[in-house]
Structure 1
């Protein structure tokens, strides 16, 4: 654990929300001179009043460049892009710009399991946490799926370890952050509006292992050619996983009957309740990370025999007059929707649409064979309609939002069909978060019972 005296004395926290508020609190509690700048926050907000009481200097309502005067480091909210005027000016002045997760190494020296990837982060983070908990290990959950990493790190005991879900936004802003076990699930073109280009996005993801040492572990998907090339630069012990290769001397893999870790059979495939080929990759990564951190086979088996998915990620909503309803609102890109579609052999009515980031959806076409109808909504509705027509789908309806789409979609199903919300797009054109979008869909489904 690093001493706080090593950290800069005058800090700008740019953007509050959960991570910014947590960063400001921990910096103030450790004697730093903190300026908080947020355009949306109000001076009478509870969190703002608390920071002011702790000694923060507040600049709210706008982003004047003057807040950078005398600043030695900027801690920015992960969602704030690097072309933001203050961030861009800070970089021009050679002021370091980091994210809240970088502060973790000043708060704890306990083991950290860091998990990232374009898809599957939340499922894998949940699985690893549950596998370790069921094995009697003391684990704390942090990051996008839990509470801010700094809040968790402050309360960790000597026998605990942290499991943290990490986005590319967070990882681009690290300097010395180092997980003892890093998990890199996959790399797929995403968030290019934020990162600017694919190379920058890939490099941000690969920051997860840039500070690892020879006694650390890097669990990675050997079937992903981008990762295979990138991990050649790691100093950590490489532990590959694969749904296609026999890795009995190297890592996690499967045959027709079992999931293995090296040459040890861990669980029978037929006992796993989580559906989808993509989830099999998440399971392999989870088994590897859990075993490396002390999980028992019994603990792993219990989780895989009972865990049916996280909320909004291929979440089984229930049966509705013989139809199987799934909420996959967390599918915010085409790869996630491809994997959802490939998880089912039955006829599917697909509900899709959302924020237009400039991409097309041609990659979905080979995965639409089982789709009998589509309901499209949001900014990308015209693009998705074109994609559906190119795939030969005859019935394509437009909806005003997911609640409307649920009703229209249900009217297009027959008993035994799948009603699937898997938007392939971010939610921000109509909804604050993918969680809000998924909750509205689930509520709409329940009102039809």
Structure 2
């Protein structure tokens, strides 16, 4: 990794950053000459920093702050190494980190370690998840009192309606998307298809599947930083906020995954359309954990505005074959690619916690060998189904006491996340609608 800096002498400064529980990048800025030392020795940061609220404030009564003297953890580089930050005006590099205790033990409050622990459970069974993500976002002009799409750099016009799969909508921001793909190439983010979506100024970019789920989460985290940064460079905002416009579709982050055995065979593939019992066990696990997992899939006050029947976000707990109204979809296609598409999460999630909960719930189901209910047909919005929690408070309560979540995430992380969300929910009630939009537009 040190060779990267030698190969890029133009780099003037470095960011050493870690993802907190909200997926926010927390860290330090250093001159580039300290890069080798950072690789060799890491850095230090209070453990409580990974557990601040969305405003960056300490959590009241957190055991990580005054009760334990606000002790430091040790930040060490992830496998990623340095990546460029092309959205900044000066030549800069980001070094993604994760946190450990003094004795080298992973810090349980680090969301990346939570995902790593789930993947270790898979490895112990000789299994490997293969993961791909689809990230939706809005391009927004937030320079005035009301949010609106930015004007096209080509025509100067604003498109005030949704344009699903419109080439014109993509071409209007060709310079932006070209720079996005160039930056993804430089950052080793496997960006594939870009499309325009149903919302006003809404787009989606898919990231290619990988058998390294930690890298998939890294890719999604870095992608969100990149998109927001490049948009500002081009004079507008990009947001993964779950529901920036009340009258338009929300922002989702769909996850596709299959599971390979030790010989590289897809354990969901039975050679036909139905898939294996293992596929259905994984689905059963995802459905059973779904109510309690909602706090991870919808972690913010604005998140719950996305769960509206008929608005392309699931509200009922069900699965189906080739049906996008269901929370869990099994796509059609080659049996070799038989997989699960998990459609609940909003774009405002922490990718590490989201993948930890999705993959952990699937593994719970595989371990328990439970059968799911029958797949639905037709619109899930018209079926009588158990529903996802509809309020932030209900989601917090379901998450806090869930046996399913307790099998997936460390006890201390569950406690810290609940404290964080309760504090945020308390202060969120005091905000005006404009302040709520301003809070989430650039952060999540």
TM-score bin (small chain): under 0.3
**Superposition TM-score, scaled by structure 1 size:** 0.28
Q: Which has the higher contact order (CA 8 A, sep 6+)?
A: 2
TM-score norm. by structure 2 comes to: 0.28
